[in-house]
A and B are shown apart, each in its own frame.
Chain A
Amino acid sequence: GENVEQHPSTLSVQEGDSAVIKCTYSDSASNYFPWYKQELGKRPQLIIDIRSNVGEKKDQRIAVTLNKTAKHFSLHITETQPEDSAVYFCAAVTGRRALTFGSGTRLQVQP
Chain B
Amino acid sequence: GAVVSQHPSWVICKSGTSVKIECRSLDFQATTMFWYRQFPKQSLMLMATSNEGSKATYEQGVEKDKFLINHASLTLSTLTVTSAHPEDSSFYICSAPRTEEAFFGQGTRLTVV
Binds B, one of A14-22, A43-51, A71-79: A43-51
A101 to B46, CA, bound (A): 9
List the 5 closest pairs (A to B, CB-CB), nearest first: A43-B104, A97-B97, A32-B100, A101-B43, A101-B44
Residues of B within 8 A of A (CB): 32, 34, 36, 42-46, 49, 91, 93, 95, 97, 100-102, 104-107, 109
**A53 nearest CB across to chain B (Å):** 12
Chain A interface size, as a band, is: 20 to 34
Contact pick for B100, options A42, A44, A93, A103, CB 8 Å: A93
On chain B, the residues within 8 Å of A86 by CB distance are none
**B43 with A49: CB separation less than 8 A:** no
Residues of A within 8 A of B (CB): 31-32, 34, 41-44, 46, 49, 51, 89, 93, 96-104
On chain A, the residues within 8 Å of B95 by CB distance are 99
A19 to B109, CA, bound (A): 30
**B44 with A99: CB separation less than 8 A:** yes
On chain A, the residues within 8 Å of B107 by CB distance are 41-43
**B91 with A99: CB separation less than 8 A:** no
Contact pick for A99, options B34, B42, B109, CB 8 Å: B34
**B30 nearest CB across to chain A (Å):** 11
**B109 with A43: CB separation less than 8 A:** no
**B52 nearest CB across to chain A (Å):** 14
Nearest residue in A to B98 (C-beta to C-beta)? Answer: A97
**A46 with B43: CB separation less than 8 A:** no
On chain B, the residues within 8 Å of A98 by CB distance are 34, 46, 49
Most chain B CB inside 10 Å of its own CB: which residue of A31, A49, A97, A100: A97
A92 to B43, CA, bound (A): 13
On chain A, the residues within 8 Å of B97 by CB distance are 97
**A35 nearest CB across to chain B (Å):** 12
A43 to B6, CA, bound (A): 11
